[in-house]
Amino acid sequence: MADEISFLPLGAIIQSFKVGGIDIVQGFPTQELYASHNSPHFGATIGRVANRISDAKVESLNGGKSYSFVANNGPNTLHGGNVGWGKRVWKGPNPVGVRKNVPGIEGELKGGETVEFTLTSEDGDEGFPGEVLVKVYYTAGKVVENGKEVTVLSQEYEAELVGGAEETVVNMTNHSYFNLSGGPSIEGTVVQLATNSYLPLSEWGIPTSGPTTYSKVATTTPFALGAQDPDFDDCFIVDPSSSPSSVPIDTRALPLTKLVSAHHPGSKVHLEVLSTEPAFQFYTGKWIDVPAVGGAPARGSRSGFCVEPSRYVNAINVDDWRSQVILKKGEKYGARIVYKAWKE
């Protein structure tokens, strides 16, 4: 694991993921540089609530109480506030053994080393109610699929409300930025999404209605990312025919769905992102602006793309969606994400 995939305590960050000699995730060589320069959230575990909360507030939790947060993205709260879980120092990585099998992945893993990160999010952390114990498990290994050796990184998320409130809101994801080209841009990457259903957004990234058809690009057939277009920062819905209120707070028992397939014809590196989550944000990195520091090159617009599996954006403030993200005492929040990558 140490040679190809590495992690950091800050943000339980995925620091590197090497495939065929190419590091396919954006990052920095030291934890200190993440602390000072990681405005894009490279590789970070995002919480307590990933993506945006409209008007930086939540109504009617814990018997009708309202909660206000820092507005750090226009009028909204983004990625848990000013110091979300991606900016906290976690305990770990602690080795917890070897897993030879990952749910949803056929075949036995070669390697399968598993590490655990833990974090205690205090009652009132960034304004959110309740003390929450959070765990992230990473399992890394290789498996043979259709005659090719595939590197697998499995992520399992678990959160439990342990005190301070009867319910809170949780929506976690990983914010890795992928670049399969081996160069400074994602230009030329060929992508295919599992769905063309998405949530129309306001100018500040808040859904304005339920799922509808994405019409700018035919997303369910392979398409190429150019130097500037197509530009994505959208929340896609995996199965628009299912009821949003049917999504359990713990999705780990659900089957993995392949959300995104991508490859770069030049590098011949392939990536698949799978998850048990009902939605995912697909973002082509328009706003990346990181200077050259510590031996790491400057990263600019479209130097990476994100696939962020999660619950619906702003679910807590939409009556039909809010059950997806309300964690009650005695329950466990759970989700799984898997990255599979290989080189031809």
**Residues identified as active-site:** 175
Q: How far apart are CA 225 and CA 52, in angstroms?
A: 25
Q: How far apart are CA 116 and CA 92, in angstroms?
A: 6
Q: How far apart are CA 116 and CA 240, in angstroms?
A: 33
| 8 Å CB contact between 38 and 28 | yes
| 8 Å CB contact between 186 and 26 | no
Amino acid at 341: A
Q: How far apart are CA 160 and CA 167, in angstroms?
A: 10
| 8 Å CB contact between 119 and 87 | no
3-state secondary structure of 302: coil
Strands 212-213 and 190-193, bridge-based pairing: unpaired
